[in-house]
């Protein structure tokens, strides 16, 4: 079990707050696949204070997703504090997470995201100011450092703890690395040894075995899964089973992958309307189809479609043709969730 402040998750598998991915449609699937803690995609503090419609929709929390962490970002103390206060008082989120890991220039240029990694004193000041005005637990997600010459992960995590933060998630890459190279799990281990609050490890966890290795290597309290879950919520289900029961469920059959992909799309349609949802779903379907024989051809078809029913028809036709080639079927039982 993972406990952050007064919030208890039923296991220590955490869904990373991926921008453009972690909306309620995908988050609910992750929860149904057993994930202990769900993190929503980051929201700008200024966008919250401006109250625009799209931003307010991003703050929606489905009761079935809980416990859920809602992530905010910003570089100005006054607006960050006010945004945190709004999330605390006007959303059903369980945890308020502050992003200090986002590496993209449009965020770092605003003194937000990974820019904080260069200044432990700013981290302590900003987190402390937020903690003072909210009741929900405050956590931070950060990277190991800005670049290989500025790796302050231990000092930064200690600053979070000193400020009253209830947990810290550490991605073992620097800002300069973005998503290239390898995550440094040694840095994550050093952070875990340096603070007493829960530490969640993130980076290069693509299989249940990776998650177990990270836990064994770093001693962290939780494992955060990001890109490994794209089009593959079974990664979450299989990791939970592997860590809690020592069993490794089989990979899903193609039919099951398509069934969940359609469920995902239908929830996205309900959330955003058919036109927006189908366009957005194209990238997800590319992930769901990854590794299946002949997937390239059906991806080409899907990328041209703009309506739900033709998309489902193309996927079902693809799966039926796969069924004519039993060599592609995998051993083991299908994973069915009710």
Beta bridge partners of 222: 200
Integer Cα distance of 139 and 15 in angstroms: 15
Question: ∠ CA(63), CA(11), CA(137), 5° rounding?
Answer: 60
Rounded Cα gap, residues 277 and 271, in angstroms: 8
Contacts of 250 (CB under 8 A, 6+ apart): 330, 331, 332, 333, 335
* Residues catalogued as catalytic: 102
Strand partners, 244: none
Query: Per this entry, what is the length of the chain?
Result: 338
Report phi then psi at 116, rounded to 5.
Answer: -60, -25
Can you count the helices (H) and strands (E) in the chain? 14, 11
Cβ atoms of residues 285 and 315 within 8 Å = yes
Contacts of residue 7, defined as CB under 8 A and 6 or more positions apart, other chains included, come to 67, 94, 95, 137
Q: Is the peptide bond before 281 cis (omega within 30 degrees of 0)?
A: no
**Contact status, residue 187 vs residue 172, Cβ threshold 8 Å:** yes
């Amino acid at each position: 079990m993972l406990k952050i402040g007064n919030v208890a998750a039923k296991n220590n598998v955490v869904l990373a707050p991926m921008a453009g991915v972690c909306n309620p449609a995908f988050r609910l699937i992750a929860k149904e696949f057993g994930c202990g803690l769900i993190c929503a995609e980051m929201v700008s503090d200024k966008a919250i204070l401006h109250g625009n419609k799209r931003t307010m929709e991003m703050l929606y929390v489905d009761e079935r997703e809980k416990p859920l962490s809602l992530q905010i970002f910003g570089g100005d103390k006054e607006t960050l504090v006010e945004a945190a206060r709004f999330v605390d008082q006007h959303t059903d989120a369980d945890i308020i997470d502050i992003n200090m890991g986002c590496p993209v220039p449009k965020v770092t240029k605003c003194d937000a995201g990974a820019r904080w990694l260069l200044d432990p004193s700013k981290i302590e000041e900003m987190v402390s100011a937020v903690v003072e005005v909210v009741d929900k637990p405050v956590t931070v997600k950060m990277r190991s450092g800005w670049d290989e010459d500025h790796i302050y992960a231990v000092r930064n995590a200690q600053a979070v703890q000193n400020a009253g933060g209830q947990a810290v998630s550490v991605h073992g890459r620097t800002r300069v690395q973005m998503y290239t190279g390898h995550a440094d799990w040694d840095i994550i281990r050093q952070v875990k040894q340096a603070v007493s609050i829960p530490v969640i490890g993130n980076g290069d966890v693509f299989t249940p075995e990776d998650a177990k290795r990270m836990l064994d290597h770093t001693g962290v309290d939780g494992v955060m899964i990001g890109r490994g879950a794209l089009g593959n919520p079974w990664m979450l289900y299989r990791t939970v089973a592997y860590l809690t029961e020592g069993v490794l469920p089989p990979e899903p059959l193609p039919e099951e992958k398509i069934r969940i992909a359609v469920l995902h799309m239908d929830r996205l349609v309900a959330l955003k309307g058919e036109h927006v949802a189908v366009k957005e779903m194209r990238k997800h379907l590319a992930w769901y189809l990854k590794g299946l024989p002949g997937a390239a051809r059906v991806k080409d078809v899907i990328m041209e479609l703009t309506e739900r029913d033709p998309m489902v028809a193309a996927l079902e036709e693809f799966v039926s043709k796969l069924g004519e080639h039993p060599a592609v079927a995998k051993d083991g039982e299908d994973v069915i969730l009710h």
